[in-house]
Amino acid sequence: MKKIAFFDTKPYDCLFFDKYGSSYDIKFFQNKLNEDTVVLASGFDGVIAFVNDNISKNIIEHLYESGVRVIALRSAGYNNVDFHAAFEKLTVLRVPAYSPHAVAEHAMALLLSLNRKIHKAYNRTRDFDFRLNGFVGFDLYGKTVGVIGTGKIGRCFTDICKGFSMRVLAYDPYPAKDSGLEYVELNKLFAESNIISLHCPLTEVTHHIINKESINRMKDGVYIINTSRGQLIDSSQLLESMQDGKIGAAALDVYEEESDYFFEDFSQTIIKDDILSLLVSLPNVILTSHQAFLTREALENIAKTTIQNLDEYFSDGSLTNEICYLCKTNDVGSNCEKRKKGERCF
């Protein structure tokens, strides 16, 4: 039986990995994978990792030396992996889609809560304070939403927005064919959107796509929704633009420095990240702790696909969900023609 080290385990992970992973000897570690914990993987054949595990050059070399040959990410995003270091050492697999609906629905839930002040109303009525002051929102009907990245999640989100009769502007270097979406240049999207929702991957190009310059191009009072990756937004510029009123509100399921805090309980600790503390303290910010994926359906699909990925690796080597090293460096991700035909391009 192959031995698999599972990092950053939460109780809800075990629920479905116990169900689908019985053909492996899986050891569940609560620790995140990092310089201090990589020794735990010694003697294992493979590693199952998540979004905030550190899969940098040092870690990869350590894993390789200790016998690990495959990393199965239980996520779609893979920005935490150093592919140059992994090349010809470790095979990196992922779960390309587990429930785009889960993430898109969470993005809309955040937008609705933020706009209609549900987060505030919940606390107020629990104190039997039934005033409405400060709770004025706006109709989503007829408003313009700018969607950056129209892949699986972005498309689900645009469908939901159309259900609200919103005008959707889209930006994606690889527009979805026959989608009927109105694709525009990024600057037009910034200038005309009342709400901007991020659904692109984190790459060198998209890092800090929301920065001082792009914020200046936006409408006053714009709402920003980020359920994609924290580093898409320059968070100090976000804070500054919220403090001076340029940005009307922000909903963040991800945060630039989230790996230090997210998924853990810091309620009894002084938070040393001032930007995080200040953002959380603003009435017009909602922060969730990278939970957009967290539905039963998504967890089940994650477990099923991760185990299928390992089955392929250890049996026929077909590697349906291997992340392509060359495509990754060329930044075209899932649009690789060779991968689509089931071929490798490296």
Where do contacts with ligand NAI occur on this chain (CB under 6 A)? 76-77, 97, 100, 103, 148-154, 171-174, 199-203, 205-206, 227-229, 253-254, 290, 292-293, 333-334
- Looking at beta carbons only, is 153 or 222 nearer to ligand NAI? 153
What is the distance between the alpha carbons of residues 168 and 143, in angstroms, rounded to a whole number?
9
Nearer to ligand NAI, 41 or 170 (CB): 170
Other beta carbons within 10 Å of 266: 13
DSSP sequence for 102-134: HHHHHHHHHHHHHHHTHHHHHHHHHTT----TT
Cβ 345 vs Cβ 339: under 8 Å: yes
- Cβ atoms of residues 44 and 24 within 8 Å: no
- At closest approach, how far in Å is the CB of 221 from ligand NAI? 23
Q: What torsion, rounded to 10 degrees, do the Cα atoms 259, 5, 331, 198 define?
A: -40
Q: Which is nearer to ligand NAI, 8 or 45 (CB)?
A: 8
The closest alpha carbon to 281, from 250, 253, 254, 260, belongs to 250
Are 251 and 209 spatial neighbours (Cβ–Cβ below 8 Å)?
no
Instruction: Determine which one of 155, 258, 322, 339 is catalytic.
Output: 258
Strands 70-73 and 91-93: parallel
Please report which helix (H) or strand (E) contains residue 241, including its range.
helix 235-243
Instruction: Check if 207 is active-site.
Output: no
Q: Are β-strands 247-252 and 91-93 bridged in parallel, bridged antiparallel, or unpaired?
A: unpaired
Catalytic residue among 74, 106, 155, 290: 290
Judge whether 169 and 193 are in contact, CB under 8 Å. yes
* Residue 42 backbone dihedrals phi, psi, to 5 degrees: -60, 130
Q: Which of 229, 256, 322, 339 is catalytic?
A: 229
Minimum Å gap between C-beta 233 and ligand NAI is 12
Least separation in angstroms between CB 254 and ligand NAI:
6
Active site residue 199: no
Active site residue 290: yes
From the CB of 328, what's the least distance to ligand NAI, in Å? 12
At closest approach, how far in Å is the CB of 168 from ligand NAI?
Answer: 14
Residue placing its CB nearer to ligand NAI in the complex, 41 or 148? 148
Query: Which residue lies nearer to ligand NAI by CB, 9 or 206?
Result: 206
- Residues serving a catalytic function are 229, 258, 290
